[in-house]
Amino acid sequence: MLRGARRSIGVLNSRSAMDSLNRINPLNPEAGYVPTPEDPRELSAALRAGTISNRIFPYLDWRYKERGRRFTKSDSAWLVWLTRHRRERVIEQVVWLRDLLSNRGMPSIILETHLRVLFRTLTRSIPEGGRYGSLAVSAQQLQEQREKQISSQRSRQLAADFVGELGYGSSPLVEGAARLAIAAVADEKVGVKHAVKSLEGWIADASQLRGSDELRERLTPTQRGVLDAESFPQRWRSAISRTIAKARRPPDR
């Protein structure tokens, strides 16, 4: 799900902690070294949450493939480790990660959902753990920031308009694409400069959808026929573009 990067986080303030930045991340060598929880139950919960989130948003596997799955593991583990610190610090780092990921094609609704999945997975696996609430609080703050820009009611209406305009009926694929495009606009309104640009070029390209064997396996024969129709690429691109344009307008227009 997530594509991480080495983080300059103030909580690493001891010499031994700083020295540890030179280590190789056991979950993802490409991530450099980011801390991971020592409790095997936490690590297991982090990895399980990443798998669940990737199922909720199949877009992640289609676009980022195995490299994305590796970053999901390392970032999930880092988020669990982060709960050892005060809530304000967790929220600050989550916002930092939100901006990083949204600028790379992953609207904040993905991280928001992942934080909730992570919280539930941890609390079910480690019921005596009392510090994981900061993950749920961070998710709530991301949601509030997003919905302050585009309300949930307006998002649903825009998604319904997208489905109607496309004219192929409703499906998780169609609705999911609309949700991501609308969420990217909300991130742009929050101040994430490349939130829309980093998503639109990929998600509006029907060849990306047509070329995904993983996607085809999820579709019914009728849905595959729609995907292969000659008119599909232009209709898809136009519907995505118009949905983004409408989401960018003030609500009363």
Residues 19-38, mean pLDDT to the nearest whole number:
62
Percent of the chain clearing pLDDT 90 (strictly above): 55
Mean pLDDT of 232-243: 92
What pLDDT, in 10s, does the model give residues 104-119?
Answer: 999 999 999 999 999 9
User: Over the stretch 2-28, which tens digit does the pLDDT of each residue have?
Assistant: 444 444 344 334 334 434 444 566 665
Please tell me the predicted confidence (pLDDT) of residue 81: 93
**What's the confidence (pLDDT) of residue 214?**
67
Minimum mean pLDDT range among 45-49, 159-163, 205-209, 229-233 = 205-209
Whether the per-residue pLDDT at 74 is higher than 70: the answer is yes
Q: Please state the φ and ψ torsions of residue 176, each to the nearest 5 degrees.
A: -65, -40
Q: What is the pLDDT of residues 113-140, one digit of tens each?
A: 999 999 999 999 998 767 899 999 999 9
- For residue 168, is pLDDT > 80? no
Give the per-residue pLDDT at 229.
85
| Averaged pLDDT for residues 153-176 | 86
Comparing 33 with 15, the larger pLDDT belongs to: 33
Q: Count how many residues are written for the chain.
A: 253
- Average pLDDT over the chain, rounded to whole? 85
Least confident of 31-35, 143-147, 235-239: 31-35
Which spans in 57-132 are helix H? 59-82, 87-102, 108-125
Half-sphere exposure for 105 (CA within 13 Å, toward CB): 18
Which whole number is the average pLDDT over 87-106?
Answer: 96
Residue linked to tokens 């991501």: 180
Identify the pLDDT of residue 34: 72
The token pair at 99 is 């901006």
| Per-residue pLDDT band at 232 (split at 50, 70, 90) | confident
Q: What is the DSSP string of 194-240?
A: TTTHHHHHHHT-HHHHHT-HHHHHHS-HHHHHHHHSTTHHHHHHHHH
Q: What is the pTM of this model?
A: 0.84
Regarding predicted confidence, which is higher, 1 or 212?
Answer: 212
Q: How far apart are CA 211 and CA 239, in angstroms?
A: 20
